Amino acid sequence: MKDAAFALPLALLAAPIPADEVLKSGRDLLREAEAQITHIDTPTLQQHLKEEPSLVRVDVRTPNEVGRMGGTIDAPGSKAIPFS
């Protein structure tokens, strides 16, 4: 019975991993994440604020990005969550 207890873990280790389940590189994961991010400029943000004042906007820029891009969003419903 002891031998049977070890057969399952060995079989699981020997099973091939499907190609679509192979671990992705950090660079690939970053590309996928960046593809889901929508970047907007100030005029577009101002239009969003005007059209949808009840929406919550979440600013997740790094402190460096906030400094380079003119500061935080100063509008009702805006939340700054610095990404560090």
More confident residue, 51 or 20: 51
Nearest alpha-carbon partner for 56 in 76, 38, 42, 77: 77
DSSP symbol at 5? H
pLDDT score at 66: 81
Residue 37 tokens, joined: 């991010």
pLDDT digits (tens, 9 = 90+) for 32-71: 988 998 888 888 888 988 898 888 878 888 888 888 877 7
Residue partners of 56: CB distance under 8 A and separation at least 6? 77, 78, 79
Q: Structure pTM?
A: 0.45
pLDDT digits (tens, 9 = 90+) for 73-84: 777 777 777 776
Nearest alpha-carbon partner for 56 in 23, 78, 24: 78
First to last CA, the chain: 53
DSSP symbol at 52? -
pLDDT digits (tens, 9 = 90+) for 41-51: 888 888 988 89
pLDDT score at 69: 78
Indicate the domain borders of the chain.
Answer: 2-80
